[in-house]
Amino acid sequence: MDSMTDLGLHISERASIHPTAIVSHGAELGAGVRIGPFCTVGPDVVIEAGAKLISHVVVEGHTRIGEKAELYPFCTVGLAPQDLKYKNEPTRCEIGARTVVREHCTIHRGTATGTGVTQVGNDCVLMAVVHVAHDCTLGDNVIVANNAVMGGHVSIADHAVIGGSAAIHQFVRIGRAAMIGGVSGVEADVIPFGSVIGNRARLAGLNIIGLKRRGFDKTQIHRLHIAFRSLFGKQGVFAQRLEIARVRFADDALVAEVLAFIDAPSHRGLIRTE
Protein backbone atom coordinates (compact mmCIF):
# COMPACT_ATOMS: atom_id res chain seq x y z
CA MET A 1 0.00 0.00 0.00
CA ASP A 2 2.92 2.40 0.53
CA SER A 3 3.56 2.59 -3.22
CA MET A 4 -0.09 3.45 -3.87
CA THR A 5 0.05 6.24 -1.29
CA ASP A 6 3.17 7.63 -2.95
CA LEU A 7 1.27 7.78 -6.23
CA GLY A 8 -1.43 9.94 -4.66
CA LEU A 9 -4.00 7.33 -3.65
CA HIS A 10 -5.56 7.40 -0.21
CA ILE A 11 -6.39 3.74 0.40
CA SER A 12 -6.96 1.98 3.69
CA GLU A 13 -4.75 -1.05 4.21
CA ARG A 14 -7.88 -3.17 4.51
CA ALA A 15 -9.34 -2.06 1.16
CA SER A 16 -9.37 -4.59 -1.66
CA ILE A 17 -8.94 -3.68 -5.34
CA HIS A 18 -9.28 -6.25 -8.09
CA PRO A 19 -6.31 -6.23 -10.51
CA THR A 20 -8.57 -5.33 -13.44
CA ALA A 21 -10.08 -2.29 -11.69
CA ILE A 22 -8.83 1.26 -12.35
CA VAL A 23 -8.66 3.52 -9.29
CA SER A 24 -7.41 7.01 -10.14
CA HIS A 25 -4.80 8.92 -8.18
CA GLY A 26 -6.50 11.05 -5.53
CA ALA A 27 -9.37 8.68 -4.83
CA GLU A 28 -10.01 7.89 -1.16
CA LEU A 29 -11.01 4.39 -0.11
CA GLY A 30 -12.01 3.57 3.46
CA ALA A 31 -11.40 0.43 5.48
CA GLY A 32 -12.97 -2.72 4.07
CA VAL A 33 -13.89 -1.19 0.73
CA ARG A 34 -14.14 -3.76 -2.08
CA ILE A 35 -13.54 -2.70 -5.67
CA GLY A 36 -14.48 -5.57 -7.98
CA PRO A 37 -13.43 -6.52 -11.50
CA PHE A 38 -13.38 -3.87 -14.23
CA CYS A 39 -14.60 -1.02 -12.03
CA THR A 40 -13.47 2.56 -12.65
CA VAL A 41 -13.09 5.07 -9.83
CA GLY A 42 -12.31 8.72 -10.58
CA PRO A 43 -9.75 10.96 -8.83
CA ASP A 44 -12.28 12.99 -6.81
CA VAL A 45 -14.23 10.03 -5.46
CA VAL A 46 -14.49 9.14 -1.77
CA ILE A 47 -15.70 5.65 -0.89
CA GLU A 48 -16.37 5.13 2.79
CA ALA A 49 -15.69 2.08 4.93
CA GLY A 50 -17.23 -1.23 3.96
CA ALA A 51 -18.72 -0.07 0.65
CA LYS A 52 -18.67 -2.54 -2.22
CA LEU A 53 -18.45 -2.05 -5.99
CA ILE A 54 -19.28 -5.53 -7.26
CA SER A 55 -18.02 -5.29 -10.85
CA HIS A 56 -18.12 -3.07 -13.97
CA VAL A 57 -19.16 -0.04 -11.88
CA VAL A 58 -18.17 3.49 -12.88
CA VAL A 59 -17.93 6.20 -10.19
CA GLU A 60 -16.75 9.61 -11.36
CA GLY A 61 -16.86 13.29 -10.44
CA HIS A 62 -16.86 14.74 -6.94
CA THR A 63 -18.74 11.76 -5.55
CA ARG A 64 -19.03 10.25 -2.09
CA ILE A 65 -20.24 6.68 -1.55
CA GLY A 66 -21.44 6.03 2.01
CA GLU A 67 -20.47 3.26 4.38
CA LYS A 68 -21.49 -0.25 3.39
CA ALA A 69 -23.25 0.92 0.25
CA GLU A 70 -23.42 -1.67 -2.53
CA LEU A 71 -23.15 -0.83 -6.22
CA TYR A 72 -24.04 -3.58 -8.67
CA PRO A 73 -22.68 -4.26 -12.17
CA PHE A 74 -23.00 -1.64 -14.89
CA CYS A 75 -24.37 1.14 -12.72
CA THR A 76 -22.83 4.59 -13.10
CA VAL A 77 -22.64 7.20 -10.35
CA GLY A 78 -21.51 10.80 -10.51
CA LEU A 79 -21.18 11.18 -14.27
CA ALA A 80 -22.02 14.48 -15.97
CA PRO A 81 -25.71 15.42 -16.02
CA GLN A 82 -27.85 15.31 -19.14
CA ASP A 83 -28.23 19.08 -19.08
CA LEU A 84 -27.11 21.12 -22.08
CA LYS A 85 -26.27 24.05 -19.79
CA TYR A 86 -23.72 22.02 -17.87
CA LYS A 87 -20.15 23.20 -18.50
CA ASN A 88 -18.21 20.67 -16.45
CA GLU A 89 -18.48 22.59 -13.19
CA PRO A 90 -17.25 20.66 -10.12
CA THR A 91 -20.71 19.68 -8.87
CA ARG A 92 -21.30 16.73 -6.57
CA CYS A 93 -23.07 13.42 -6.05
CA GLU A 94 -23.64 11.71 -2.71
CA ILE A 95 -24.87 8.18 -1.97
CA GLY A 96 -25.84 7.38 1.61
CA ALA A 97 -24.79 4.58 3.91
CA ARG A 98 -26.08 1.06 3.24
CA THR A 99 -27.86 2.14 0.09
CA VAL A 100 -28.13 -0.49 -2.65
CA VAL A 101 -27.81 0.57 -6.29
CA ARG A 102 -28.71 -2.25 -8.64
CA GLU A 103 -27.71 -3.08 -12.21
CA HIS A 104 -27.71 -0.38 -14.91
CA CYS A 105 -28.80 2.46 -12.63
CA THR A 106 -27.64 5.95 -13.59
CA ILE A 107 -27.19 8.65 -10.95
CA HIS A 108 -25.86 11.94 -12.31
CA ARG A 109 -24.12 14.72 -10.42
CA GLY A 110 -25.74 18.11 -9.86
CA THR A 111 -25.60 21.28 -11.92
CA ALA A 112 -24.35 24.77 -11.21
CA THR A 113 -27.78 26.15 -12.07
CA GLY A 114 -29.42 23.75 -9.60
CA THR A 115 -28.42 22.86 -6.06
CA GLY A 116 -25.05 21.59 -7.26
CA VAL A 117 -25.53 18.17 -5.73
CA THR A 118 -27.51 14.99 -6.37
CA GLN A 119 -28.23 13.14 -3.13
CA VAL A 120 -29.49 9.65 -2.36
CA GLY A 121 -29.99 9.06 1.36
CA ASN A 122 -29.24 6.19 3.71
CA ASP A 123 -30.74 2.70 3.44
CA CYS A 124 -32.31 3.27 0.05
CA VAL A 125 -32.87 0.63 -2.62
CA LEU A 126 -32.67 1.59 -6.28
CA MET A 127 -33.68 -1.40 -8.36
CA ALA A 128 -32.35 -2.14 -11.83
CA VAL A 129 -32.37 0.54 -14.56
CA VAL A 130 -33.48 3.42 -12.33
CA HIS A 131 -32.47 6.91 -13.44
CA VAL A 132 -31.81 9.65 -10.87
CA ALA A 133 -31.23 12.90 -12.72
CA HIS A 134 -29.18 15.93 -11.75
CA ASP A 135 -30.00 17.83 -8.56
CA CYS A 136 -32.46 15.20 -7.30
CA THR A 137 -32.73 14.59 -3.57
CA LEU A 138 -33.87 11.25 -2.18
CA GLY A 139 -34.32 10.92 1.58
CA ASP A 140 -33.62 7.87 3.73
CA ASN A 141 -35.27 4.46 3.22
CA VAL A 142 -36.62 5.34 -0.20
CA ILE A 143 -37.41 2.39 -2.50
CA VAL A 144 -37.41 2.95 -6.25
CA ALA A 145 -38.55 -0.04 -8.32
CA ASN A 146 -37.21 -1.15 -11.70
CA ASN A 147 -37.15 1.22 -14.67
CA ALA A 148 -38.48 4.23 -12.77
CA VAL A 149 -37.11 7.54 -13.98
CA MET A 150 -37.06 11.05 -12.63
CA GLY A 151 -36.27 14.39 -14.20
CA GLY A 152 -33.94 16.94 -12.70
CA HIS A 153 -34.57 18.60 -9.32
CA VAL A 154 -37.02 15.97 -8.04
CA SER A 155 -37.34 15.73 -4.27
CA ILE A 156 -38.44 12.45 -2.65
CA ALA A 157 -38.86 12.37 1.12
CA ASP A 158 -38.06 9.55 3.56
CA HIS A 159 -39.77 6.17 3.21
CA ALA A 160 -41.44 6.96 -0.10
CA VAL A 161 -41.96 4.07 -2.53
CA ILE A 162 -41.78 4.60 -6.28
CA GLY A 163 -43.40 1.88 -8.38
CA GLY A 164 -41.83 0.24 -11.39
CA SER A 165 -41.65 2.23 -14.63
CA ALA A 166 -43.02 5.37 -12.98
CA ALA A 167 -41.93 8.66 -14.52
CA ILE A 168 -41.57 11.73 -12.32
CA HIS A 169 -41.47 15.15 -13.93
CA GLN A 170 -38.70 17.59 -13.08
CA PHE A 171 -39.15 19.70 -9.94
CA VAL A 172 -41.88 17.44 -8.50
CA ARG A 173 -41.94 16.87 -4.74
CA ILE A 174 -42.91 13.50 -3.28
CA GLY A 175 -43.87 13.69 0.40
CA ARG A 176 -42.82 11.41 3.21
CA ALA A 177 -44.10 7.82 3.05
CA ALA A 178 -45.98 8.47 -0.17
CA MET A 179 -46.63 5.68 -2.69
CA ILE A 180 -46.34 6.12 -6.44
CA GLY A 181 -48.04 3.31 -8.37
CA GLY A 182 -46.28 1.47 -11.15
CA VAL A 183 -46.31 3.00 -14.63
CA SER A 184 -47.60 6.29 -13.22
CA GLY A 185 -46.77 9.62 -14.80
CA VAL A 186 -46.34 12.14 -11.98
CA GLU A 187 -46.40 15.77 -13.03
CA ALA A 188 -47.33 17.51 -9.75
CA ASP A 189 -46.49 17.27 -6.06
CA VAL A 190 -47.71 14.33 -3.94
CA ILE A 191 -48.70 14.98 -0.35
CA PRO A 192 -47.02 13.08 2.49
CA PHE A 193 -48.66 9.68 3.04
CA GLY A 194 -50.57 10.04 -0.22
CA SER A 195 -51.01 7.29 -2.81
CA VAL A 196 -51.17 8.09 -6.51
CA ILE A 197 -51.54 5.96 -9.62
CA GLY A 198 -52.25 6.42 -13.29
CA ASN A 199 -50.78 7.79 -16.45
CA ARG A 200 -51.93 11.28 -17.32
CA ALA A 201 -50.49 11.19 -20.83
CA ARG A 202 -52.60 12.97 -23.42
CA LEU A 203 -51.93 14.73 -26.68
CA ALA A 204 -51.31 18.35 -25.75
CA GLY A 205 -50.22 19.84 -29.05
CA LEU A 206 -47.46 19.81 -31.62
CA ASN A 207 -43.75 19.75 -30.87
CA ILE A 208 -43.24 23.21 -32.33
CA ILE A 209 -39.73 23.64 -30.95
CA GLY A 210 -38.68 20.31 -32.42
CA LEU A 211 -40.15 21.23 -35.80
CA LYS A 212 -38.23 24.51 -35.83
CA ARG A 213 -35.00 22.85 -34.80
CA ARG A 214 -35.35 20.39 -37.66
CA GLY A 215 -35.66 23.14 -40.25
CA PHE A 216 -39.34 23.17 -41.13
CA ASP A 217 -40.48 26.63 -42.22
CA LYS A 218 -43.33 28.70 -40.81
CA THR A 219 -45.71 27.79 -43.63
CA GLN A 220 -45.22 24.06 -43.10
CA ILE A 221 -45.64 24.40 -39.35
CA HIS A 222 -48.71 26.61 -39.76
CA ARG A 223 -50.45 24.12 -42.07
CA LEU A 224 -49.58 21.26 -39.75
CA HIS A 225 -51.04 23.20 -36.84
CA ILE A 226 -54.27 23.80 -38.76
CA ALA A 227 -54.45 20.10 -39.58
CA PHE A 228 -53.85 19.24 -35.94
CA ARG A 229 -56.73 21.41 -34.78
CA SER A 230 -58.93 19.96 -37.49
CA LEU A 231 -58.08 16.37 -36.55
CA PHE A 232 -58.11 16.69 -32.79
CA GLY A 233 -60.76 19.34 -32.22
CA LYS A 234 -63.73 18.45 -30.06
CA GLN A 235 -66.41 19.02 -32.67
CA GLY A 236 -67.83 15.94 -34.36
CA VAL A 237 -66.62 12.36 -34.47
CA PHE A 238 -62.91 11.60 -34.92
CA ALA A 239 -63.52 9.33 -37.92
CA GLN A 240 -65.38 12.14 -39.66
CA ARG A 241 -62.64 14.67 -38.87
CA LEU A 242 -60.12 12.21 -40.25
CA GLU A 243 -61.92 11.95 -43.61
CA ILE A 244 -62.23 15.73 -43.84
CA ALA A 245 -58.49 16.09 -43.21
CA ARG A 246 -57.69 13.61 -46.00
CA VAL A 247 -59.46 15.86 -48.49
CA ARG A 248 -58.44 19.24 -47.08
CA PHE A 249 -54.73 18.43 -46.74
CA ALA A 250 -54.34 15.93 -49.58
CA ASP A 251 -51.33 17.76 -51.03
CA ASP A 252 -49.43 18.33 -47.76
CA ALA A 253 -46.57 15.87 -47.13
CA LEU A 254 -46.34 16.43 -43.36
CA VAL A 255 -50.06 15.97 -42.82
CA ALA A 256 -49.94 12.89 -45.05
CA GLU A 257 -47.28 11.44 -42.77
CA VAL A 258 -49.53 11.99 -39.76
CA LEU A 259 -52.49 10.41 -41.53
CA ALA A 260 -50.39 7.40 -42.56
CA PHE A 261 -49.33 6.91 -38.96
CA ILE A 262 -52.97 7.00 -37.84
CA ASP A 263 -53.94 4.50 -40.54
CA ALA A 264 -51.15 2.04 -39.72
CA PRO A 265 -52.00 -1.02 -37.58
CA SER A 266 -51.75 -0.38 -33.84
CA HIS A 267 -51.85 -2.66 -30.82
CA ARG A 268 -52.47 0.15 -28.35
CA GLY A 269 -54.58 2.77 -30.08
CA LEU A 270 -53.93 6.48 -30.45
CA ILE A 271 -53.36 9.06 -27.73
CA ARG A 272 -55.75 11.98 -28.27
CA THR A 273 -56.48 15.28 -26.59
CA GLU A 274 -59.74 14.10 -25.05
Q: What is the pLDDT of residue 4?
A: 44
* Inter-residue contact 51 to 70 (CB < 8 Å): yes
Among residues 192, 145, 190, the alpha carbon closest in space to that of 171 is found at 190
Fold assignment, 208-263:
Udp N-acetylglucosamine O-acyltransferase; Domain 2 (1.20.1180)
Catalytic residues: 134-135, 152
- CATH 2.160.10.10 in the chain, residues? 2-141
- CATH 1.20.1180 in the chain, residues? 208-263
Q: Name the average pLDDT for the chain.
A: 92
Render pLDDT for 179-190 as a digit per residue (tens, 0 to 9).
Answer: 999 999 999 998
* Inter-residue contact 166 to 182 (CB < 8 Å): yes
Render pLDDT for 49-97 as a digit per residue (tens, 0 to 9).
Answer: 999 999 999 999 999 999 999 999 999 999 999 999 999 999 999 999 9
Class of domain 2-141 (CATH, top level) = mainly beta
Determine how many CB atoms are found less than 10 A away from the CB of residue 161.
19
> Would the pLDDT of 145 be above 60?
yes
